[in-house]
Amino acid sequence: MGHLTKRRLAVAIAAATALSTLVACGGSESEAEKAKEITFWTPQTTPQRVAAQEKVAARFTEKTGIKVKVVPLSETDQQQSLATGAASGDVPDVMLHSSNSTAAWRSQGLLNTKAAEEVVSDLGAETFNANALKAFSLDGKAGAVPSDGWVHLLVYRKDLLQAANVKVPTNLEEVATAATTMKATGVTGIALGTQSGTASGTEGIYSMFQSAGCQLVREGAVTIDSPECTRAAELFKVLRDSSRQGDFDVTSARAAYLAGKSSMLLFSTHILDELAGLDKANPPTCTQCKADPTFLSKNSGFITVLDRNHPAQYGATLGYGIPEGANTAGAKEFIKFMLEDGYSDTVASATEGRIPLRNGTKADPNAYLDAWGKLGIGPEAKSSVAELYGPEMVTQIRDGMNAVGLWGMGTKDSPLAGAVTAQGVLAQFLERLYAGESPAQVTKGMAEQVKKVQAEL
């Protein structure tokens, strides 16, 4: 009887061992399958851009065997979904997002910053746009890997300024003087976002204030009421008053320039294809454009760094982040592919608005930027920036992207700056500025409101 019990025990142990081995193997297979799949969130959500990204992802799968689920998701939706997913453990593996989100997510402990640092190190930190790398970093450590972005251009009519004997401006003071002079000739001096309380107004303030050397915050101290910022506010009103068509949002500002009704325009690099008549949805409508749709591209000049003494252009920067709990190995492979083999095809999904933030490789420092300059722009991608505006324009845009600076970037002030921008705090004060309140009082009010946001963080 005792012997039989030992036999049964041995069989039971063997069976249990076999079962546990089977379960373990099954678990390993499941984990292996999981390691061969990643989910990628992208804010590039138009059907054309999604299709382009899916093609690049398919190439990655063909090369590595790792399947990619491309999920179009606006940045606002990403923020909400990541917070929910982090609580349940259901997170994506890679997210393309702005540097403002990097700062917020990093402060919440949602990003695998070690993984991002490793990707930057593997590719070579020196191959990236230094300012962009700073925007995604804190204390010199990357929170996400820079990918691409756009920069504000100050576009001007070469023919109109020359006819009025107005020199090309080199700082905000000169832009204000030029705008006032040009208004007297019968056109709007400069078209830019000036509508109070709007995202367009926020961009206009940010862009012009930065170029004047104004800082929102320094090492935790709110400085939007500094003398530099107060002077910037005064000049901003001069720019606004140079309009012959009222206050502008981004759309109406572009329309004014395309119609030949403004001598200058503040706009992103997305304007490049439209000036050349390559976007049927936003065609040039100036009198001369009827005979020659490329008239504006031929007669426009571009300032990509307004003030060389304060090289701080407004722009957008996107980077790849890896959340905590993601498939880190697969995510790192994917990001490297997107910034190497798949880079040109990735930025080609919207060339004029996706300028490489990795300029090149260790062997060829400008390889990717040079390749970008030869990509077609506009919906049909017929002509490149280099073909339309000359190779020197590619260099100018590189200089502009190298000068992109965001308030608080690379410091612990970044979450505050991001919150102020997202909430449109500063643009809420434009109406008071336009109504005659002194610039000093306006910036004082701005500072008080920024401090309230700071206290809530």
Distance CA 176, CA 179 (A): 5
234 Cβ contact list (under 8 Å, min separation 6)? 439
Q: 198-223: buried (b, 16+ CB within 10 Å) or exposed (e) per residue?
A: bebbbbbbbbbbbbbbbbbbeeeebb
Q: Are 446 and 225 in contact (CB under 8 A)?
A: yes
Look at residue 29 in the predicted model and tell me its pLDDT.
43
Query: Does residue 19 fall inside a structural domain?
Result: no
Query: Does residue 225 fall inside a structural domain?
Result: yes
Burial class (CB in 10 A: 0-12, 13-18, 19+), 354: buried
Distance CA 90, CA 237 (A): 48
Look at residue 33 in the predicted model and tell me its pLDDT.
66
Q: How far is CA 167 from the centre of its chain?
A: 31
18 Cβ contact list (under 8 Å, min separation 6)? none
| Number of separate domains in the chain | 2
Alpha-carbon radius of gyration of the chain:
26
Considering the domain architecture, whether residues 215 and 75 belong to the same structural domain is answered as no
368 Cβ contact list (under 8 Å, min separation 6)? 343, 344, 356, 358, 359, 360, 361
Considering the domain architecture, whether residues 307 and 324 belong to the same structural domain is answered as no
CATH code of residue 42: 3.40.190.10
Instruction: Tell me the one-letter amino acid at 34.
Output: K
Count of CB atoms situated within 10 Å of the CB of 119 = 20
Considering the domain architecture, whether residues 201 and 53 belong to the same structural domain is answered as no
* Boundary-marking domain end, from 387, 416, 431: 387
Query: Does residue 269 fall inside a structural domain?
Result: yes
Question: Taking CA 222 as the corner, what is the angle to CA 456 and CA 446, rounded to the nearest 5 degrees?
Answer: 80
Considering the domain architecture, whether residues 165 and 267 belong to the same structural domain is answered as yes
Considering the domain architecture, whether residues 206 and 275 belong to the same structural domain is answered as yes
Considering the domain architecture, whether residues 160 and 86 belong to the same structural domain is answered as no
Q: Tokens 């090309």 map to which residue?
A: 168
Whether the CA torsion 200, 204, 207, 209 is positive or negative: it is negative
Tens-digit pLDDT profile for residues 367-380:
999 999 999 999 88
Considering the domain architecture, whether residues 362 and 420 belong to the same structural domain is answered as no
Look at residue 139 in the predicted model and tell me its pLDDT.
84
Distance CA 4, CA 252 (A): 91
Tens-digit pLDDT profile for residues 356-369:
999 999 999 999 99
Q: Tokens 């190779």 map to which residue?
A: 391
Considering the domain architecture, whether residues 306 and 321 belong to the same structural domain is answered as no
Look at residue 30 in the predicted model and tell me its pLDDT.
58
Considering the domain architecture, whether residues 45 and 109 belong to the same structural domain is answered as yes
Give the residue numbers spanning the domain of 168: 151-313+405-456
Considering the domain architecture, whether residues 437 and 353 belong to the same structural domain is answered as no
Is 0.85 topped by the overall pTM?
yes
H or E stretch including 8?
A: helix 2-35
Considering the domain architecture, whether residues 214 and 279 belong to the same structural domain is answered as yes
Q: Are 443 and 225 in contact (CB under 8 A)?
A: yes
Distance CA 120, CA 133 (A): 9
Query: Does residue 428 fall inside a structural domain?
Result: yes
* Boundary-marking domain end, from 387, 421, 438: 387
Tens-digit pLDDT profile for residues 54-98:
999 999 999 999 999 999 999 999 999 998 999 898 999 999 999
Task: Using alpha carbons, select from 212, 202, 208, 214 the residue that is nearest to residue 190.
Answer: 208
Q: Which residues of the chain fall short of a pLDDT of 50?
A: 1-29
Written as six digits, the tokens of 282 are 């936003």
Query: Does residue 334 fall inside a structural domain?
Result: yes
Q: Are 240 and 249 in contact (CB under 8 A)?
A: no
Distance CA 190, CA 214 (A): 21
Q: Checking DSSP bridges between strand 145-157 and strand 383-384, what pairing results, if any?
A: unpaired
* Boundary-marking domain end, from 387, 416, 435: 387
Query: Does residue 378 fall inside a structural domain?
Result: yes
Look at residue 309 in the predicted model and tell me its pLDDT.
85
